[in-house]
Amino acid sequence: MPAALVCRDTGTRYPLDTPIWRSPAVAPVDSVTPAGLLDIDWPVDASTFPREAIAKRPATMWRYREALPIPAGVEVTLGEGMTPLLAVPERVLESVGALGGSSGTIRPGSQMLLKLDSLHPSGSYKDRGVSVMVSQCRRLGLSHVVEDSSGNAGSSFALYCAAAGIACDIYVPEATSPAKLTQVLTSGARLVRVPGDRQATSDAIWEAAQRHYYVSHAWNPFFFHGTKTFAFEVCEQLGWKAPEAVVVPTGNGTLLLGCWIGFEELRRAGVIDRVPKLIAVQAAHCAPLAGATAFSHTVAEGIAIPRPIRREQCLAAVRDTGGRVVTVSEADTVAALRAAIRAGLYIEPTCATALAATAQLRDLSGTIVLAITGHGLKTNDTIAKLLA
């Protein structure tokens, strides 16, 4: 069957160039009810990953162009992707309590690696999803889009829409970090600050999303087909081998699900024979994937999502890959942040949760990749308050 947008509720298929972000076959309910969610059915085979040709292409995520659902010539790119993969410094592992076993080290032959997606044009991994999403907007000939965000997706959309000459309205919670707001404001996007928590922002945009194309990183499936390049890169950087596990700070699950889609595509194409365990990390203060129903403030602002719209899909990704959901305390997150920065890694508190989680992963062996999703400069004020 040809590639298509597929309604998760009815199975209805739509051509990829249909300007929809949810399925018209299902009546809309509200911002937290997953009615009419779409996925992309993207067929792969052995020709999807021409490894020798890929090796000769520029070091951006568009080197996997056969695997991306965007026709050649409409890409909106700022050079995203091919971020470094490097070992977690030993002293960071030691301070976060990741060293276990009788020898006091991670198991022989095992390694923990950081994928520095913080080193992206806008300063977060969101650029992967946004590059594909804004390319799709260009393909559809759109001139005005809307998005809501805890900050990083919004700042990324604002910059990529500026590059593409597309107007965008970005809705954010009032308490969003100033650096992220500055990125939105100075790029020419319209910033809408919504009083209340992240959920209040999703509710506020719902009405605008009925009138404009909603580039939601949670609803719109094109986003996941950008974040899936994280999996392709990890695999290529490991010599076209899958790691044992990937540890992902998770709110709405756009990187978690991108990893699931990406590694699954590599498996279906015959490049790898098994999908890594996917470990979803949440702040204990906001852990709906762990079944929590009470929520309170967390320093991990990027993953403070009490009601993720794709919760069932996130749980399936964890379950089907033999992974798990790990929750981490505020104190352990701050301790991991301090250890990371003292080892030279200036990262957002949100992604320090991945480092903090490693204390609960000492039973794993082999190669474990931690997603470092956002740059510390995005949250300078918070870091100063927490650590200075």
Ligand X SMILES: Cc1ncc(COP(=O)(O)O)c(C=O)c1O
Q: Give residues in contact with ligand X (CB under 6 A).
A: 124, 150, 152-153, 249-255, 302-303, 305, 348, 350-351, 373-374
DSSP assignment, residue 114?
A: E
Q: Of the two residues 131 and 152, which places its CB atom closer to ligand X in the complex?
A: 152
Q: What is the phi/psi pair of residue 82, to 5°? A: 50, 50
Residue 110 · residue 366 · CB < 8 Å: yes
Burial class (CB in 10 A: 0-12, 13-18, 19+), 10: exposed
Distance of CA 192 to the CA centre of its chain: 23
User: Tokens 């809705």 correspond to what residue?
Assistant: 171
Q: Of the two residues 202 and 252, which places its CB atom closer to ligand X in the complex?
A: 252
The nearest distance, CB 84 to ligand X, in angstroms, is: 17
Whole-angstrom CA distances from 261 to 178, 217, 285, 320 are 33, 15, 28, 12
The nearest distance, CB 177 to ligand X, in angstroms, is: 10
Q: Of the two residues 215 and 255, which places its CB atom closer to ligand X in the complex?
A: 255
The nearest distance, CB 98 to ligand X, in angstroms, is: 20
Measured CA to CA, the distance from residue 244 to residue 366 in angstroms comes to 6
Q: What is the token pair recorded at 360?
A: 């609960």
The nearest distance, CB 229 to ligand X, in angstroms, is: 15
Q: Of the two residues 50 and 306, which places its CB atom closer to ligand X in the complex?
A: 306
Q: Of the two residues 95 and 176, which places its CB atom closer to ligand X in the complex?
A: 176
The nearest distance, CB 354 to ligand X, in angstroms, is: 9
Q: Of the two residues 276 and 288, which places its CB atom closer to ligand X in the complex?
A: 288
The nearest distance, CB 105 to ligand X, in angstroms, is: 28
Q: What's the half-sphere exposure (Cβ side, CA atoms, 13 Å) at 257?
A: 26
Q: Of the two residues 68 and 255, which places its CB atom closer to ligand X in the complex?
A: 255
Whole-angstrom CA distances from 243 to 223, 233, 247 are 23, 11, 11
Q: What is the phi/psi pair of residue 303, to 5°? A: -115, 20
Measured CA to CA, the distance from residue 219 to residue 31 in angstroms comes to 9
Measured CA to CA, the distance from residue 75 to residue 89 in angstroms comes to 36
DSSP assignment, residue 380?
A: H
The nearest distance, CB 116 to ligand X, in angstroms, is: 12
Measured CA to CA, the distance from residue 369 to residue 380 in angstroms comes to 25
Q: Of the two residues 49 and 125, which places its CB atom closer to ligand X in the complex?
A: 125
Q: What is the token pair recorded at 307?
A: 């009601």
The nearest distance, CB 170 to ligand X, in angstroms, is: 13
3-state secondary structure of 312: helix
Distance of CA 381 to the CA centre of its chain: 23
- Closest residue to ligand X in the complex (CB): 302
Using alpha carbons, select from 204, 211, 202, 245 the residue that is nearest to residue 354: 245
The nearest distance, CB 93 to ligand X, in angstroms, is: 21
The nearest distance, CB 23 to ligand X, in angstroms, is: 21
Strands 277-283 and 324-328 turn out to be parallel
Beta-bridge partners for 213: 145
